Structure 1
Amino acid sequence: MFIANLCAVKQVKMYKQQNFLRHFLFLFFFSLLSFQAFCGVIKGTIVDKKTREPLFGATIQVAGTAFGTVADREGRYTLNVDTGTYTLIVKFVGYQDLIREGVKVAENQEIHFELEPDTETLDEVKVTARKNLENERVLQVERQNATIAIENMGAKEMSLKGISNVEEGVKKITGISVANAGQLIVRGLGDRYSTTTLNGLPIASPNPDNKLIPLDLFPSATVKNITVSKVYAVQSFADYSGAHIDIGTKVHTGEDFFSVGMNVGGVFNTLGKDFYYSDREGSLLKTGNIDSKYLDMPYSSFEEKVKEKDIFGTSFVIEKKTALPDFSGNVGWGKSFGKLNVLLSMGAGNEKQILKDAFVKQFTAQGRVLNMFRYNSYITKFKIAALAGLSYTFRHSDYLNYSLFYARNAIDEFMERDGFDSEGVTLRGSNSVYHAYSLLNNQLSGHHEWGERWELNWAGSYGMTGSDEPDRRQVMFRKNEETGKLSLFLLNQQETMRYFGELDENEMVGDVKVAYRFGEKNRLHFGATYKRKTRDFRCASFYYNLDNLPSPEIFNIYDTDSYLNFENVANGNILIKRSYQPRNRYKAESKAYAAFAEVDFFPFPTLLINIGVRYEQVNQSVDYFDDGSIKRKSELKNGDIFPALNIKYTIGERNSLRFAVSRTVTRPAFVEMAPFLYRESYGSAAIRGNAAIQNGYNINVDLRYDLFSKKNNDMFSATLYFKQLNDPIERVQEAEGGSAVHTFRNSKNGIAMGVEVEMRKEVFKNFRLGLNGSYMYTDVKLPKDGGIYTDNQRALQGASPYLINADISYAPYLRGGDDRMILALVYNVQGPRIHSVGIFGLGDNKQLTLHTLDWVGSYSLGRHWSFKLTVKDLLNSKVRFRQDVPQINDKLEVEAFRPGTNAEIGFTYKF
C-alpha cells in the first residue's frame, strides 16, 4: 500500500524507518483482513494537539496484537476488536508516540487522540516526495527542511481560504499577482520570467502570447499542493528568475472513498438580469472551428462555394435570456486494490458575469478625447477538468505513478459598445468572442531505492494543448445623433467580419535523476532531461462587403437575421472575402538537452551548502512566411552553463538563514523571434517578431530569514532579493504604416529588487492570523532608439510596487470532534501598476490600487456531509485605469468597470 506520509518523509536514521515501514505494512495488511464479526468497535479522530489539524496517515495499534488501522483524510479511524481491555499505541511521523492504557471496549467506544510534534524527530526529517502532501503541518516541515527556499500551499489551506483554482492560490503567495489576460507577475517580473510544471514536469501553454499555461485550468479539487520556488535549483530548467510553480495533482493513498459535491451561486449584479449571448453552434463543449477545406481551396473556388453553402453555421443574431444561477459539481472516487491505488476525479461548472456601464477612452497627447465607448459585456464560462491516477508500490519504498489530466475552459463573450471613434462618428457595435483552451497531459514516473545510498527517479510526459477562437464576429452600426436611427457602417469591410484562429502544441519530456548518499546527510545528485515542443498556428479572417446590400431598416443591434443572412450571400448582395495568406500560419519547434550535477554538503551539522551546475543546449526554430509570402526560417541555438549556490545556516532549533545566488536565462517565445506580422485575434495588437532577438541572462541574489514555532504552525519569514537583468527582452511599439505595431528588443539592462515578509500566528486556540506583503522596485532602460515610447526608462510593465495578503480564520471542532466549522476573511491589496506603456507623448496607462475582500464559511457534519458558503469581493471593488498626460500635467481616467460580488453555496457528500 502506497502511504502518503511514509512516501513523503524520510528518516535520516534508515533502520528506524525500515522497522516502522515493516511494522506499519504488517498492521495494515491484517487490518484489511479483519472482516470477521468483532463484537467491539473503537472509532474517533487523530489530530494535531495545537492546530487541531487532522493527521492523515496516522496509525493506531492494539499493543501486543497485529490489529491496527490508519486515519483517513479527515483524521478519522475505525478499529474492530473483541470486547475487553486494551492498550492503544498511536503513531505519526514527526509526532510523539501516544500510549493509552486500560481502554475498555464493550460494543462501541469513541476515543479521540491529540498528538504533539516531536521536535527532535522533525529535525531529522528529509522531504523526498513533497508532491503528495496536502496536510499543512507536514508542508511546513517540508518548507523548513527543504534545501532551497520554497513556499507551498496544500489542499487544506486552499479549502480554508475558498480557493477554487491554482490561479487564485498563487495570488495568495508573497510577491505574486496576476495581470490582464492571466499573466503572472512575480517580484515585478512578467510572464516570461517564470515557469510552470505539473508534478515536476514542464507543461506547455495554449496561449501564444503567454509563456505560462493559464493557471485557472487547474481546479482545486484535482490539486494536492502548489509549491513555489523563487530561487533557482539546477535540477530544473534555467528559464526562470521569477518563480518556478509546481502543481501537484492528487494521488489516492488513504481510505477508500466516493464523494459527490454540488455548488450553486452567481454574481449579484448578474443573477436574474437580462443576459445577451451570440448565436452558437452547439454547446460550449464543442469548438466548432471552420472546416479546413474552406481555407485550403483556391480563392476562386471559395468564392463560389460560399454562395452555395453556409460554411459557418452561425449568424450575427444576438439572443436574450434571464441569467440563472451558476451551477458546478464534482465527483471523486478512490480505492485500493492491494498495492495498486486508483483515483478518479471530475468536475464541471458554468459561470456568468455582466460588466455593466463600463467605459474605455483614448486621449491625445494634448488631453483631448480621441475616442470613447461605453460598453456592457456578457461573459459565459464553462470549465471541465478530470484527473485519473494509478500508483503501484513494490518492495519497501519503490513505486510507479501514472496520471492523466484533462482540462477545458471555454469563454463566450458578447459585448455591446456605444460611443464615437477618432473621426467623431457616433457608433454602436456588436462583438462576439468565443475562446476555448484545452489540455491533455499524460505522465508516468517511478521511484526506486537500492540499499541506503542509491535512489533513482525517472519521469516522462506527453502533453497536448490547444487554443481555438472559432468564429469571432463583429458588426458596427452608425447611429444618427438626432434621430437615433441605426445604419450599417460601411467605411471599410473590416467593420463586419469573422475571424477564426487555432493553435495546437505538443510537448514531450523525459527526465532522469539519480541521488547518492554519503555520510549521514550529504547527497550527490545528477541527471539529464530532454524536452521537445512543436507548435502549429493558423488564422483566417472573412470580411463582409455590404456595398450591394439594399439599406435595411435596423431597429436594434441584436436582430440581424433579416439582412445579414445566407440568402443575401447566395444572391450576391453580400460578398464574403477570405483573408488567408501564407503569413497567417507558422510552425515552430524547440528541442532542449540538459544535464546537471549538484551536491548537498554539511561541513558541520548546522550548515548546508548546496552547489550545482546545469548545462542546457536549446535549439528553437520558426518556419514562417514574410509579408511577400516568401518562406523563411528563424533559428536560435545556444548552449549555456547555469551555476547555482544555496547556503542554509540553522540557528538553534527553529531559526534559519538562507543565501542563494544563481545565473538564469530568459528565452524569446516563438512569435518573438520571427519577423512576420502576426495578430492573435481580431482587435488585438499587431505583433512583428525580431530575427535579431537574443537570450537575456539574469543574476539572482536572495537572502532569507525563517523562524518556525516549536509547537504549532506559527512562523515568520523575511526576504531581501536583487536581480540584475542583462539584455532583457522587452515588448516595444513602433510606427508602421501609420499605426502602432508591437515588436521585441533586447534592452540594455534592468533591475528588480525588494523585500518580502510573511507571518502566521495562532492568537488563541483555533483562531489564526496570516499576513504576507512585498515591496518592489523595478527599472528597465530601453535603447536610445526605443521606438515611439514617451519614456525610455520606467518600471517593468505589470509590476506593482507593493502587494499585501491577509487572512483571519476561526476553525473549531464541535460535538466532541465529529464536526468542524471554518470561518475565514481573506484580504488582498494590489498596488498601482503599468497596464500599457505610454507612446506618442502620452504617459503610462496605470491600473490603480485594487482592494478585494472574500469571506469563506464551511461546516463538516460528521464524516459524510460538508457545507460551504463563499462570498468573493465583498467590497465590490471598481477596477480603474488612469492615463498620465504630461503636456497638461494631469492624470485622466481611461477605463473603469466593476466585476461584481459573487456568492456560492455548496455541499459535498462522502460515501
Structure 2
Amino acid sequence: MRLGFKEIVFVSGFLACSTMPMVAETIKGTIVDKQTKEPLTGATVQVLGSTVGAVADLDGNYILDVPGGVYDLVVKYVGYTDIKAGAVKAKGKDVVLNFEMESDAQALSEVSVVARKNLEGERALSMERQKATVAIENLGAKEMSVKGISNVQEGVKKITGISIASAGQLIVRGLGDRYSTTTLNGLPIASPNPDNKLIPLDLFPSSTVRNITVSKVYEAGTFADYSGAHIDISTKENTGKDFFSIGFNTGGRFNTIFQDFYKMDQQYSLFRNPGINQKYIDMPKADFSTAIAKENPFHTTFDVNKSTSLPEFGGNIAGGKNWDVNGQNLSLLAALSASNTNETTKDAFYRTLEAGGTTLDQFNYDSYRQELKLAGLGNLAYTLREADRIGYTFFYARNAENTYMLRQGEDYEDNELIGNNSVTHIYTLQNHQLNGHHEFGQQWDLNWSGSYSKTSSEEPDRRQVMFEKAGNSLELFDLNKQENMRYFGSLNEEEWVGDLRSSYRYGDNNLIRMGATYKDKSRTFRSTRFYYDVSRFNPEIEDIYRTSSFMGYDNIANGDIAIIRDQQPKDQYDAGHSIYAGFIDAEYYPTANFLVNIGVRYEYSHQWVNYATDGGEAKRNEVNCHDFFPAMNLKYTVNDANSLRFSFSRTVTRPSFIEMAPFLYQESYGAAMIRGNAELKNGYNYNIDLRYERFDQQNSNNMFSITGYAKILEDPIERTQTLSGGAAVHSFQNADTGVAAGVEVEFRRELFRDFRVGANASYMYTNVQLPEGGAYTNAQRSLQGASPYLVNADISYAPKFKNDTQLTATLLYNLQGPRIHAVGISGLGDVKQEDLHTLDFVATYKLNDHWNFKLQMTDLLNQDIVFKQEVKDGRKLEVERYGRGTTFELGFSYTL
C-alpha cells in the first residue's frame, strides 16, 4: 500500500506497511483502541533498534521527530498487540499515521500493573464515569480550560444540580453546605470559614487541578457526613512525560478598568497580612488604656484613597520531570499561579421593611473590591518496583481580598447617614499528603495515606466610621459605640487524617475491601474590637475621605477620642472533632452484567466546644455518637452503551462547632448574631437514587443520563430566628422532618464534525417543617438556598486546520431559579433572589504544539442581581439590587 503525503493510514494488528518510501519531516498521528476508539494515552511509537520514540498524549496524539532516513517503527501499549510499520522514509513533508490497536487477551492476563492514567481529558473521564462502581460526574482540566473555568468553584457550578449561594456556600440538590463534603485527592480538608462546613472552593485554581469528581451517592469507603455531594479535587501529577509550560493573562471588568477606584488606607499590599502587635491584645485592659495614650498600636488610618483601576494580571508556571533511579521511576511536578481582580459595584441599594411594606431603613452603596489569589502545588512520586508506588503532594493557597464600601441613606430613626467601611479577609490553606500503593500477587493490594492540613481565616483590620448629616454639615455619628470601630479576628484550624485500606480480588471481577480511618480536627477562634468613643468630640468635617485630621492618633493622644478595647470571654472559643471509622464492602457480579456493591461503615464521632456564656462563665458542650451507615449501589449493564444504577444509603448531618454551643457569636462586625443550641443532635438522612446512562460507543462525545432521587431528612438542623431587643438573632434547632426530591437530566452530543452541544437541567422539590418557637413567618417552607430549577448549556465549535492549528469557540449559558436568600420573620415573607441568567464566551486558538491563545468574556448579559420580599398584602417589593459587570480576559500559554 502506497501512502501519499496527505494520506491518513489506519494500521491494525501486525500489519506491515509497503516498502514504498514515505517522505516526511515528522511522523505523527493518533493511537486509539480499535473497538472503543478511545485514545491510548501513554502508548509508545519507537524506532526499532534505537531509543528514539514518542509517547501518545492525553488525546492519543504522538509526534516523532527523526533525522532524515528510513526507519522501521513499532507501536506498543500494555495489554495490546504490537503494531509494526516498516520502511518509513523521514525526509520532506509530513505524513500522518493513525494506529488502531487490538487488545491482547493473553497479554492482559499476564499483566499485574497498568500504567497510571492521565485523567485530565474528557474522553478518559467519560470512560471512568461509565465504568465507575457508583454514579459519578466529573470535569477535567482540559474541559475546564476550554470553558474558561478559572477555579473549582466555577467548575462545580457546571455540574448538574449544583449552585453557589451567597458567601460561596455550595447548594447540592437543594441541600445546603452542611450536607456536602470536600476532599483533596481523597482525603478530607479543613475549612477556614466558621460559618460554612466546606472549604471555599475558589481557593483551588484550575491550573493546579487534574479533575473534579462529584458523587451524589454514598459508598461505605468514605466519611458518612454527606447527603448532597462528595466533591473530590484531584491535583495534577506527572504521568511520565517531561514538560514545561508558562501562561499569562490580562483583562478586567468593563465597569471597573481605567475607572476611579477607592480603598481605605492599607498597611501592606495584599501579598502580606496586616495586623496589630499581639501585645496590645494580650495586655491587661488597664495597661492598654495607659499604653494607648503613649503609642499608636494601629498601622493604618481611616483615610480613603482614590486611584485608577488598572488591568488585571495573572499567570501560571508548571513543569514536570522524570528520572530513572536504578531502574525505578522518580517523577516531579510543580506548579505556581497568581492572579488579581478588581471589582466595582455602583448605585446598588438595600432596604429593610416592616410587615405592611413600609421601609424602615434604606441605603445606597458603592463597593470596591480587590482580590489576590496565590496557589502552589508540588507532587513527588517514586515507583519502588512494578507493584509499589509512594507519593507526596503539597498544596498551598492564599486568597486575600479587601473591600471598601461607601454607604448613604437613612436608618429606622430617620438619621441621614454616610458610612465608610473597609474589610480585609484572608483565607489560607496548607496541605501535606503522603500516600502509598502496594500489590501482592494477583489478588491483594494495600493502600495507605495520611494528611496534615492547616487553614486560617484572618480579618486583621476591619474599620468603620459613620457620619450624620446635620443640615449642611456633617458630624461623627455616635448613637452607639459600634458605629466607629476596628475589629481584629482570627480563626485557625488543624486537621490530621490517616487512612489504611486493603482489597482482595477473587474470581474475574469480584472483590472484598476493608479499611480504617482516623480524623482529628482542632480549631481556635479569637476576636477583639476597638471602639472609638467620639461622644466628647465634635470636629469640623469637610471631606469624609480625609479623616486623619480628626480621627488620627493625635486626637487619641490628647484625649479628644477614647479607645475602648472590648475583649470578652464569649468572643473566643476552642473546639475539636475526632472520628474513628472502619468499613467493609464488597463488589460482586451475580451475572456478568450485574454489579452489586454493598457495605457498611462504623463511625465513632466525638465533638466538643469550650466556650463562655454571655456572663463569662466557662462551659463545655459535647456531642458523641456511635453510628452504622449501610450503603448499597447496584449497576445493571444492559449492553456496552446502556446501564441502570440504583443506590440506597443512610448518612449523617452533624452540627458545626458554633451551632452546638449556646453563646452569642458574631464572626465579624456587621455579620449576623448567632446563638448556638446545646440541645442539638445529629440529623440522619435516607437517600435513594435511580439513574439511567447511555454512552455512545462510536463517539465518546455523545452521552445521555437521567436521574431521579429522593431524600428523607430525619431531625434536620435548621436555622431559626428569634427577636431580642428588636433585633433578629439566628439560632438552630432540629426540625421534625424534611424532604428533598427531584429529577436531573444531562446530555452531550456532537451534531456534526467539530460541533458539539451539551446541557444539564434539574428540577428540585424541597420542604421542611420548622420547629415551634421561632419568629419566622412561614413554619413550612423550601430549604434555604434551594432553587427549584437549574440549567447549564454549552455550544462549542472546534475545527482543526493544517499544521495542527485549532480554533475552539464555546458559548456557555446558566440559569439559576429563584431561591430563599433570608428567612422572613415577624409577618414578613422570605427574601428571595430572582431568576439569574448568565452567558459566557470562550475562544482558544492553538497555533502549534507550543503556543495557545485565549479570549474570554464573562457575564455578557450583565443582569442585575435582585432580591424581593413579600409583605402582608401580597406585594413583592425589591429589597436589594446590585450589578456585577461584564469581564474580559486575554491570555496565552507556551509549552515546551
Q: TM-score interval w.r.t. the shorter chain?
A: over 0.9
CA positional deviation for 1:77: 3.6
1:657 aligns with 2:641: no
Unaligned runs of 5+ in 2: 1-12, 14-22
Alignment equivalent of 2:736, drawn from 748, 751, 768 = 748
> What letter is aligned with 2:831?
N
1:558 aligns with 2:545: yes
Q: Which whole-Å CA distance do the structure 1 matches of 2:758 and 2:129 have between them?
A: 16
1:88 maps to which residue?
73
1:300 aligns with 2:290: no
2:224 maps to which residue?
238
2:486 maps to which residue?
498
Q: Which whole-Å CA distance do the structure 2 matches of 1:305 and 1:131 have between them?
A: 62
Alignment equivalent of 2:528, drawn from 540, 558, 561 = 540
Aligned length: 866
Q: Which moved more, 1:665-674 or 1:124-133?
A: 124-133
Conserved? CA contact 2:117–2:239, under 8 Å: no
Alignment equivalent of 2:242, drawn from 231, 253, 256 = 256
1:910 maps to which residue?
895
1:147 maps to which residue?
133
CA positional deviation for 1:126: 13
Conserved? CA contact 1:119–1:710, under 8 Å: no
CA positional deviation for 1:44: 2.6
Conserved? CA contact 1:73–1:255, under 8 Å: no
> What letter is aligned with 1:748?
D
2:624 maps to which residue?
637
SS in 2 for 1:563: helix
User: Aligned pair in 2 of structure 1 residues 262, 488: CA closer, same or farther (>3 Å)?
Assistant: same
Conserved? CA contact 1:52–1:766, under 8 Å: no
User: Aligned pair in 2 of structure 1 residues 348, 546: CA closer, same or farther (>3 Å)?
Assistant: same
1:379 maps to which residue?
369
**TM-score normalised per structure 2:** 0.93
> What letter is aligned with 1:104?
V
1:179 aligns with 2:165: yes
SS in 1 for 2:549: coil
User: Aligned pair in 2 of structure 1 residues 637, 73: CA closer, same or farther (>3 Å)?
Assistant: same
Conserved? CA contact 2:361–2:412, under 8 Å: yes
1:767 aligns with 2:752: no
User: Aligned pair in 2 of structure 1 residues 114, 681: CA closer, same or farther (>3 Å)?
Assistant: farther
Can you list the C-alpha shifts for 1:494-531, whole angstroms capped at 9, x where unaligned?
Answer: 11001110000000000011010000000100000000
1:14 maps to which residue?
none
1:6 maps to which residue?
none
User: Aligned pair in 2 of structure 1 residues 254, 130: CA closer, same or farther (>3 Å)?
Assistant: closer
User: Aligned pair in 2 of structure 1 residues 769, 397: CA closer, same or farther (>3 Å)?
Assistant: farther
Q: Which moved more, 1:42-51 or 1:59-68?
A: 42-51
1:888 maps to which residue?
873
Conserved? CA contact 2:248–2:316, under 8 Å: yes
CA positional deviation for 1:291: 2.3
> What letter is aligned with 1:331?
I
> What letter is aligned with 1:746?
N
Alignment equivalent of 2:394, drawn from 387, 397, 404 = 404
Q: Which whole-Å CA distance do the structure 2 matches of 1:49 and 1:531 have between them?
A: 42
Q: Which whole-Å CA distance do the structure 2 matches of 1:61 and 1:271 have between them?
A: 52
SS in 1 for 2:293: helix
Aligned pairs for 1:485-884 (under 5 A) are: 485-549=473-537, 551-713=538-700, 714-785=702-773, 787-816=774-803, 818-884=804-870
Conserved? CA contact 2:689–2:709, under 8 Å: yes
SS in 2 for 1:622: strand
CA positional deviation for 1:307: 1.5
User: Aligned pair in 2 of structure 1 residues 750, 118: CA closer, same or farther (>3 Å)?
Assistant: farther
User: Aligned pair in 2 of structure 1 residues 814, 138: CA closer, same or farther (>3 Å)?
Assistant: same
User: Aligned pair in 2 of structure 1 residues 48, 153: CA closer, same or farther (>3 Å)?
Assistant: farther
1:354 aligns with 2:344: yes
CA positional deviation for 1:48: 6.0
1:9 maps to which residue?
none
1:431 aligns with 2:421: yes
Conserved? CA contact 1:43–1:76, under 8 Å: no
SS in 2 for 1:206: coil
Alignment equivalent of 1:447, drawn from 433, 437, 441 = 437
Can you list the C-alpha shifts for 1:135-163, whole angstroms capped at 9, x where unaligned?
Answer: 21111111001000000011011011110
User: Aligned pair in 2 of structure 1 residues 53, 154: CA closer, same or farther (>3 Å)?
Assistant: farther
Q: Which whole-Å CA distance do the structure 1 matches of 2:114 and 2:627 have between them?
A: 29
CA positional deviation for 1:889: 1.3
1:465 aligns with 2:455: yes
**TM-score normalised per structure 1:** 0.92
2:3 maps to which residue?
none
Q: Which whole-Å CA distance do the structure 2 matches of 1:747 and 1:130 have between them?
A: 47
SS in 1 for 2:154: helix
Alignment equivalent of 1:112, drawn from 71, 79, 96 = 96
Can you list the C-alpha shifts for 1:236-284, whole angstroms capped at 9, x where unaligned?
Answer: 0000000000000000123212222110000000011100011111111
User: Aligned pair in 2 of structure 1 residues 499, 528: CA closer, same or farther (>3 Å)?
Assistant: same
1:477 aligns with 2:467: yes
Can you list the C-alpha shifts for 1:299-330, whole angstroms capped at 9, x where unaligned?
Answer: 11011111211111100000000010000111
Q: Which whole-Å CA distance do the structure 2 matches of 1:245 and 1:132 have between them?
A: 19
SS in 2 for 1:703: strand
Q: Which whole-Å CA distance do the structure 2 matches of 1:715 and 1:753 have between them?
A: 24
Q: Which whole-Å CA distance do the structure 2 matches of 1:120 and 1:450 have between them?
A: 24
SS in 2 for 1:745: strand
> What letter is aligned with 1:449?
E
Can you list the C-alpha shifts for 1:63-115, whole angstroms capped at 9, x where unaligned?
Answer: 67775431245755444667554453445679x87947344223466343445
Q: Which whole-Å CA distance do the structure 2 matches of 1:78 and 1:763 have between them?
A: 29
CA positional deviation for 1:58: 2.8
> What letter is aligned with 2:164?
V
User: Aligned pair in 2 of structure 1 residues 285, 824: CA closer, same or farther (>3 Å)?
Assistant: same
User: Aligned pair in 2 of structure 1 residues 92, 181: CA closer, same or farther (>3 Å)?
Assistant: farther
Can you list the C-alpha shifts for 1:678-707, whole angstroms capped at 9, x where unaligned?
Answer: 100000001111111000000000000000
Q: Which whole-Å CA distance do the structure 1 matches of 2:814 and 2:31 have between them?
A: 31
CA positional deviation for 1:129: 10
Alignment equivalent of 2:300, drawn from 302, 314, 318 = 314
User: Aligned pair in 2 of structure 1 residues 129, 185: CA closer, same or farther (>3 Å)?
Assistant: farther
> What letter is aligned with 1:809?
S
Q: Which whole-Å CA distance do the structure 2 matches of 1:650 and 1:54 have between them?
A: 23
Q: Which moved more, 1:609-618 or 1:84-93?
A: 84-93
Moved over 3 A (4+): 39-43, 47-56, 61-68, 72-94, 96-103, 106-121, 123-132
Q: Which whole-Å CA distance do the structure 2 matches of 1:290 and 1:677 have between them?
A: 25
User: Aligned pair in 2 of structure 1 residues 108, 451: CA closer, same or farther (>3 Å)?
Assistant: farther
Conserved? CA contact 2:72–2:88, under 8 Å: no
Aligned pairs for 1:191-230 (under 5 A) are: 191-230=177-216
1:23 maps to which residue?
none
Q: Which whole-Å CA distance do the structure 1 matches of 2:104 and 2:466 have between them?
A: 72
Q: Which whole-Å CA distance do the structure 1 matches of 2:450 and 2:303 have between them?
A: 47
SS in 1 for 2:220: coil
Q: Which moved more, 1:285-294 or 1:710-719?
A: 285-294
Unaligned runs of 5+ in 1: 1-19, 21-38
Conserved? CA contact 1:355–1:377, under 8 Å: yes
Question: What do you get for the CA RMSD once the two structures are aligned?
Answer: 2.4
CA positional deviation for 1:712: 1.6
User: Aligned pair in 2 of structure 1 residues 414, 261: CA closer, same or farther (>3 Å)?
Assistant: same
State, as a whole percentage, how many aligned pairs show the same letter: 55
User: Aligned pair in 2 of structure 1 residues 115, 268: CA closer, same or farther (>3 Å)?
Assistant: farther
